[in-house]
Amino acid sequence: MISRQPHRGSRQVVVTGMGVIGPLGNTLDELWDALISGQSGVGPLTSIPADDLPVRFAAEASGFTGKIDDFGPLDGEQKKAIRKGLKVMCRECQMGVAVAQLALGDARITPGTVDPMRIGINFGVDYMLSIPEEFIEGIRASMNDDGRFEFAHWPTDGLPRMSPLWLLKYLPNMPASHLAIYNDFRGPNNSITLREASANMALGEAFRMITEGRADRMLVGATGTRLHSMKLIHCIQQAELASNDAIPAEASRPFDRDRTGMVLGEGAGAVVLEERTAAEARGATILAEVVGSASATAVGANLIARPRQALKNVLDAALDDARLNVEQIGHIHAHGLATKTSDVEEARAIADVFGSRKTPVPVVAAKGHTGNLGAGSGMIELIASVLALRNDRLFATLNHETPDPACPINVAAGGGGASGDSFINLSITPQGQASAVVVQRFAE
């Protein structure tokens, strides 16, 4: 199934603000400097007790403390409200709210400076899970004299020990809800919960909101983590993880012949989208232009994902939506999960679509630096490529040293090369849901 939208009218959509929190730092400069200098965000796992886990390293957003100073410049009322709200935010929510506020600060949008009815929010998130610590007191209260948990005691003795606001920490619509309240944004508001595809899906929907005239501005973000005790267990059971014997900084190796699997991480990113004339009217700095988006799903018998087909479909649809051909794309920011199976499927899909080019399209994958940040990856990767356009320089894919013959693409390695004037940001889930966004250099 391919999602194709009717061609938009004359309303151009531009990026005017960006914010990041992740393994490479919490500012745009830190992110770019780390990418261009080949720094890795992967190190020893410290956020979760790892003594009994087959995972000893991860890409942690270690610079994010969850304290109010991490949320950027705020007026007095916002600071008071966010500080109060932190107690009902899990770490993913906190990172999501923080990057959104950082993006608004970068765009110079503060309460009262734009029409609240014409600015909305679209946020991409992972599935959110409670941490086991939330249940400890309730479980203790439900134990019998032999120290065994009794389900029959939970409704009367255990559940009352739970915080009455416990569930609010883990609802996937909470980042968008918090942000609408803190900033008085009354326009369209939605939350997308499609794992790694969420960021591009959220941005694509926000793009439509503006081109169709339902909003003049949209705050778009995505937040995610794989560094959670329960999610970690899911990943160990279901995913191809990098070998525990690897040097942490060299463990994530997108499209490299010697890759062994993905590295787990956490992070978030956000951008401010505006209709061009609305942005120009307030003197905003325009960073790039969004020109197309698409989504596609491909599954076979027994709901087995067909990632190559999904990615080929989404690339074709994104090019069609942007009204561009393969020769006009400067680079592709690949999902680049660094697993044996996913990278081959993605590389072959890119070759299916771009194999006719006169010169191979450069392909980059920031996961070599950051690992898999869940829903947060797609937005940080998009921001990384916008920074590449701004600097007219493409960073190299970290740890891509030996090309894999099974991955017939031109991976940007070594010096990186030129960014070109446009890029496609590409993501896919293990279930076969693909998403893409097309962004180009802004032409005044």
Give the integer Cα–Cα distance in Å for 366 and 378. 10
Domain 19-128+171-440 CATH (choose: 3.40.30.10, 3.40.50.300, 1.10.275.10, 3.40.47.10): 3.40.47.10
What is the C-alpha to C-alpha distance for residues 289 and 357, in angstroms, rounded to an integer? 24
For the cut 90, the answer to whether the pLDDT of residue 415 exceeds it is: no
pLDDT band at 22 (very low <50, low <70, confident <90, very high): very high
Name the band, by pLDDT with cuts 50, 70 and 90, for residue 9. low
Distance CA 327, CA 355 (A): 11
Four-residue CA torsion sign, 344, 349, 351, 357 = negative
Q: Which residue has the tokens 């993880």?
A: 241
Dihedral Cα 123, 125, 127, 129, nearest 10 deg: -100
Q: What mean pLDDT value characterizes the chain?
A: 94
Task: Tell me the C-alpha to C-alpha distance, in Å, between residue 131 and each of 77, 200, 256, 317.
Answer: 30, 27, 35, 39
Domain boundaries, the chain: 19-128+171-440
Pairing of strands 433-440, 189-192: unpaired
Residue corresponding to tokens 């920074």: 387
Phi, psi of 119 (to 5 degrees): -130, 130
* Reported pTM: 0.95
Closest among 141, 111, 87, 106 to 31, alpha carbons compared: 106
Q: What is the pLDDT of residue 132?
A: 82
Residue 190: count other Cβ atoms within 10 Å of its Cβ.
17
Which of 141, 398, 45 is closest to 255 using CA atoms? 398
Number of other residues whose CB lies within 10 A of the CB of residue 37: 9
Strand partners, 338: none
Least confident of 205-209, 237-241, 242-246, 347-351: 237-241
Distance, CA of 268 to CA of 146 (rounded, Å): 45
Confidence of residue 443 (pLDDT cuts 50, 70, 90): confident
115 Cβ contact partners less than 8 Å away, ≥ 6 residues apart: 216
Q: Taking residues 15-19, report their average pLDDT.
A: 98
Quick one: pLDDT at residue 134?
84
H or E element that contains 342: helix 340-354
Mean pLDDT (whole number) for 314-326: 98
Please write the tens of the pLDDT for every residue from 356-413.
999 999 999 999 999 999 999 999 999 999 999 999 999 999 999 999 999 999 999 9
Least confident of 277-281, 298-302, 334-338: 298-302
Averaged pLDDT for residues 171-192? 97
C-beta separation of 435 from 314 below 8 A = yes
* pLDDT value of residue 2: 45
State the DSSP string of 30-71: HHHHHHHHT----EE--SS--TTSS--EEB--TT---SGGGG
By DSSP bridging, strand 217-225 and strand 119-125 are: parallel
6 has a pLDDT exceeding 50: no
Give dist(CA 192, CA 100) in Å, integer.
Answer: 15
pLDDT of 308 > 90? The answer is yes
Cβ-based neighbour number of residue 90 at 10 Å: 22
Q: What is the largest CA-CA distance in the chain?
A: 76
